[in-house]
Amino acid sequence: MTAVAASIPPSWYLLLAATVFCIGLLGVLTRRSALYFLMSVELMMNAANINFVAFALYYGDLTGQVFALFVIALAAAEVAIGIGIILVLYRNFGVTDVTVPTEMRW
Amino acid sequence: MIDVFSYVPAIVLLPFFSFLVALGAGKYLPKGGAFGGIAATAGSFLLSLWVLATVAGGQAANRTIYTWASAGGIGPTDVELTFGILVDPLSALMLVIVTLVALLVHVFSLGYMNDEGETGLPRYYAGLGLFTASMLGFVVADNLLMAFMFFELVGLCSYLLIGFHFREPGPPSAAKKAFLVTRFGDYFFLIGVVAVLATFGTAQFAGPESFPALAEAGEVAWTPGGLAVDTWFTIVGLLVLGGVVGKSAQFPLHTWLPDAMEGPTPVSALIHAATMVAAGVYLVARMYGFYALSPTALAVIAFIGGFTALFAATMGVVKDELKQVLAYSTISQYGYMMLALGAGGYVAAVFHLTTHAFFKALLFLGAGSVIIAMHHNEDMWDMGGLKSKLPVTYYTFLAGSLALAGIFPFAGFWSKDEILYEALVHAPGEPLLFGGYLMGLLAVPVTAFYTFRMVFLTFHGEPRSATARDPEPVRWNVKGPLTVLGSLAVVTGVINMVPVQKVLGIEGIDVLHRWLDNEWGGIEGLSSHHYADLGPYSSEYLVGGEVGTVLVGAAVSLGLALAGLGLAWRLYGVPSPTEHTAKLGGIKDVLYNNYYLDELQVWLAYRTEDVAGVANVFDQGIIDGVVNGVSSVSLFGGNRIRRLQSGVVSQYTALLTLGLVALVLVLGVTGGWFL
């Protein structure tokens, strides 16, 4: 299994990660619902994870894999806080559309 | 190295702290912050005495404490702008005089301001503290620019204190006048400072690299348009003299001083004896090594001085108010000091500055005591007969008056006599100086006359008003300073008994001469002998050699003074004196109106209105226009750019992403990724 994964050139992994990241970014830019935001951010973080793991494999170094674990933990925490924010948003404005509350403008 | 000179800045800073304390916490303190001021000036006085003793022990200091700007560019050499201290016999003496008078004025203020129930006392004591601090800073200044800064601070403080009673109509306008007239002189002074910096690349007073030393050696870095060095020195000297004429109230910029009598009387004492007015004369003495190189500047100083001495004395003759007479006497006495400086009598000028500081402070404080007693009525025609009611005031005031009139053996006699002697022996062959001498001599009887007219009208004869019959008593805080100054006015003459030395041949009693000649130590190049060597004058004795000239000169001036005194006694020393001014005829009106000089100045001001108008347009249009333009551009830009802050999270994200993409593109193109 490892041998198969290592035989693929690293640029492929990078390409895959970049694609996933862009999909996530596109989601953040185009969607209005805060829930979609959370999911898109999850995609972007996992794109970073792919890079970590790919480089860890390429250099034979476990640091990258450890960091990927950290990122997963961080993503869980982020979702917890994010959902909290969305709940407050909904309670105050009755929507989860992020373009509606513009109280913090100039 | 910690020595006494390390504490010299503290002499300046102590009154400054009393200013801060009185300003910040004065209304919570007893007596409106007076004790802080008394403690601070007493501390400064003790430190000054210590400094004086150290200088007498043969030490001196010329130190730079802080360099606040250093640049090449305004002249051919690099220029350093610094703060520093210069402690030599002259400044040590002046420190003691200023702190002593300031201390006594603070104590006297307890009687004049606090006991009289004045309001706004914290403001008053703050002003006194700052005034003292500025003057002390000026005295220890080691370069011309620092001196100029403190000179200006002194002017500001006089404005604040003269206008102390700002709710009445007179004082604010007098304060403005004092500020503007002295500013007019200071304008020339400022140009002079820049000229000195550009010419020599330094403004230091002392040391081998100082501007008097460079001027003496002829090492000039720059003169405008290749002007001859001597001519340029004269011009620079006269420019600086502009500030001196303004501050020391010399003709034609003396008009502010009589109006400055609107200020509280202790302030007048401080202004006239030790601070503001003394600053001008002290400045000339400080840079005397520079003036001594220019015979023309010296002659001008002597002539202005002699003229002012006579001119102001004649106006003092007809005044009705106690403080007005004293004001004109101050102008006149500073005229004498200028005459002495111009005549090469450096020591004589410093001597008169010292004795005058004591007897004029005494006279003003005595006048303050009379004013308390008279419930703030200053008209001498309402007084009379106060002699028996205010004995302490009377006898001290009398001592001060005898000193002012130059009667043997009071302090003023010795100093005035020496000034006239110096002018006389240096006068042959110098028409301007001789003119100055004659006017100075003529002013002697006039001075004695108006001084004793004042004494007789105030203290002698029958009381001429209800208040004079039952005056308010004064307390210890008035009598104490008067007693101290009264004793000084009697005995200060002993520090410099040159005539006695010359006539009787007792060596070594010309202490002040030896003091200023660095006999106990001092700074190279700042001694009176050095100045005499530099100066253009040689001594010629008219009658009977040196001794004869001394005796004749002293006899003539004493005789003239006694004549003036006698005339005053004849006219006003009677039980119920009357006005005699009608005998003067048309001159009376001219004198009453101060030779119409105020009117002339106002007329000149109106004639030059157009210049001010152009300056105003330039200021409002161009200077303010640039400043306002800059601010409105940033206001407008800020107004537009803040619309970016829309509050929509998606837009922020989009901007962030675009920014990142742009950054990557720029880095990529410049970093060569795409090649």
The pLDDT value given to residue B571: 84
d(C-alpha B132, C-alpha B103), whole Å: 9
Q: How far is CA B44 from the centre of its chain?
A: 19
Least confident of A9-23, B67-81, B167-181: B67-81
Q: How far is CA B473 from the centre of its chain?
A: 32
Cβ atoms < 10 Å from Cβ of B204: 25
Cα maximum dimension of chain B? 114
Residue B496 backbone zone (phi > 0: left; psi -120 to 50: alpha; other: beta): beta
The pLDDT value given to residue B493: 82
Are B332 and B312 spatial neighbours (Cβ–Cβ below 8 Å)? yes
Query: Measured between beta carbons, which residues in chain A are less than 8 angstroms from residue B657?
Result: 25, 29
Q: Is B640 on the interface with A (CB under 8 A)?
A: no
In tens, the pLDDT along B87-103 reads: 888 899 999 999 999 99
Closest to B98 measured CA to CA, from B143, B131, B65, B124: B131
DSSP H helices, B406-497, are 411-426, 431-459, 466-469, 476-491
The pLDDT value given to residue A6: 74
Query: Measured between beta carbons, which residues in chain B are less than 8 angstroms from residue A104?
Result: 645, 647
In tens, the pLDDT along B531-567 reads: 888 877 777 776 667 788 888 888 888 898 899 888 8
In chain A, the residue whose alpha carbon lies closest to the alpha carbon of B639 is A106
CB contact under 8 A, A29 and B642: no
Instruction: State the nearest Cα–Cα gap between A4 and chain B, in angstroms.
Output: 31
Classify residue B141 by its DSSP letter: B
Residue B117 backbone zone (phi > 0: left; psi -120 to 50: alpha; other: beta): left
Report whether pLDDT(B500) > 60: yes
d(C-alpha B372, C-alpha B364), whole Å: 12
Report whether pLDDT(B594) > 90: no
In chain B, the residue whose alpha carbon lies closest to the alpha carbon of A27 is B650
Residue in this structure with the two tokens 């030393």, named with its chain if needed: B213
pLDDT mean over B243-252 = 87
The pLDDT value given to residue B498: 78
Are B220 and B290 spatial neighbours (Cβ–Cβ below 8 Å)? no
Those residues whose C-beta lies under 8 Å from the C-beta of residue B189, and which sit 6 or more positions away, are B148, B151, B239, B240, B242, B243, B244, B246
Query: Measured between beta carbons, which residues in chain B are less than 8 angstroms from residue A105?
Result: 645-648
Give the CA angle between residues B448, B453, B459 to the nearest 5°.
Answer: 120
d(C-alpha B442, C-alpha B550), whole Å: 18
The pLDDT value given to residue B73: 55
Of residues B500 and B362, which shows the higher confidence score?
Answer: B362
d(C-alpha B545, C-alpha B543), whole Å: 6
Domains of chain A: 2-93 (1.10.287.3510)
CB contact under 8 A, B653 and A29: yes
d(C-alpha B277, C-alpha B279), whole Å: 5
Tokens matching residue B266:
């202790």
Let me know how long chain A is. 106
Tokens matching residue B217:
């050696």
**If pLDDT is split at 50, 70 and 90, which confidence band does B316 have?**
confident
Amino acid found at B205: F
In tens, the pLDDT along A24-71 reads: 999 999 988 999 999 999 999 999 999 999 999 888 889 999 999 999
Report whether pLDDT(B630) > 90: yes
Cα maximum dimension of chain A? 57
Q: In angstroms, what CA-CA distances link B534 with B217, B238, B289?
A: 11, 18, 7
Report whether pLDDT(A5) > 80: no
Closest to B227 measured CA to CA, from B235, B237, B238, B217: B235
CB contact under 8 A, B657 and A25: yes
Q: Which of B649, B655, B658, B660 to mutate to test the interface with A (most CBs of A within 10 A)?
A: B649
The pLDDT value given to residue A42: 93
Of A28, A32, A102, which is closest to B647 when you measure between CB atoms?
A102
d(C-alpha B210, C-alpha B84), whole Å: 13
The pLDDT value given to residue B72: 62
> Taking all residues of chain B, what is their mean pLDDT, rounded to a whole number?
85
Classify residue B224 by its DSSP letter: G
In tens, the pLDDT along B281-296 reads: 999 998 888 888 888 8
pLDDT mean over B327-350 = 89
Q: In angstroms, what CA-CA distances link A78 with A31, A34, A71, B200, B652?
A: 19, 13, 10, 71, 20
User: Percent of chain B, pLDDT > 90?
Assistant: 14
In tens, the pLDDT along B21-46 reads: 888 887 788 777 788 889 999 999 99
Tell me phi and psi for residue B409, to 5 degrees: -105, 30
d(C-alpha B587, C-alpha B595), whole Å: 9
The pLDDT value given to residue B42: 92
The pLDDT value given to residue B675: 67
Closest to B321 measured CA to CA, from B369, B267, B279, B379: B379
Report whether pLDDT(B237) > 80: yes
Least confident of A74-88, B134-148, B527-541: B527-541
Give, rounded to a whole angstrom, the gap between the first and last alpha carbons of chain B: 67
Tokens matching residue B345:
């009598």
pLDDT mean over B470-497 = 84
Instruction: State the nearest Cα–Cα gap between B660 and chain A, in angstroms.
Output: 12
The pLDDT value given to residue A1: 53
Tell me phi and psi for residue B263, to 5 degrees: -70, 165
Of residues B430 and B243, which shows the higher confidence score?
Answer: B243
Closest to B265 measured CA to CA, from B371, B400, B348: B371
Residues 12-31 of chain A whose Cβ lies under 8 A from any Cβ of chain B: 25, 28-29
**Reported ipTM:** 0.86
The pLDDT value given to residue A40: 93
Give the CA angle between residues B97, B100, B103 to the nearest 5°.
Answer: 145
Closest to A100 measured CA to CA, from A34, A23, A15, A1: A34
Of B645, B650, B657, which is closest to A105 when you measure between CB atoms?
B645
CB contact under 8 A, A101 and B654: no
B548-584 b/e (C-beta count within 10 Å ≥ 16 → b): ebbebbbeebbebbbebbebbbebbbeeebeeeeeee
Q: Is B635 on the interface with A (CB under 8 A)?
A: no
In tens, the pLDDT along B372-395 reads: 888 888 888 888 778 888 888 889
Q: How far is CA A65 from the centre of its chain?
A: 16
> What pairing do the DSSP bridges indicate for beta strands B61-72 and B78-87?
antiparallel
The pLDDT value given to residue B501: 79
Instruction: State the nearest Cα–Cα gap between A64 and chain B, in angstroms.
Output: 24
Report whether pLDDT(B363) > 80: yes
Are B213 and B289 spatial neighbours (Cβ–Cβ below 8 Å)? yes
Give the CA angle between residues B370, B126, B40 to the nearest 5°.
Answer: 90
DSSP element (H, E) containing B63: strand B61-72
Of B642, B643, B648, which is closest to A99 when you measure between CB atoms?
B648
pLDDT mean over B450-456 = 89
d(C-alpha A27, C-alpha A38), whole Å: 10
The pLDDT value given to residue A100: 86
d(C-alpha A37, C-alpha B112), whole Å: 80
Are B539 and B426 spatial neighbours (Cβ–Cβ below 8 Å)? yes
The pLDDT value given to residue A19: 95
Of A25, A32, A105, which is closest to B646 when you measure between CB atoms?
A105
pLDDT mean over B223-232 = 81
The pLDDT value given to residue A75: 93
Of A32, A99, A106, which is closest to B645 when you measure between CB atoms?
A106
Of residues B559 and A1, which shows the higher confidence score?
Answer: B559
Are B55 and B85 spatial neighbours (Cβ–Cβ below 8 Å)? no
Report whether pLDDT(B476) > 80: yes
**If pLDDT is split at 50, 70 and 90, which confidence band does A2 have?**
low
d(C-alpha B291, C-alpha B342), whole Å: 9
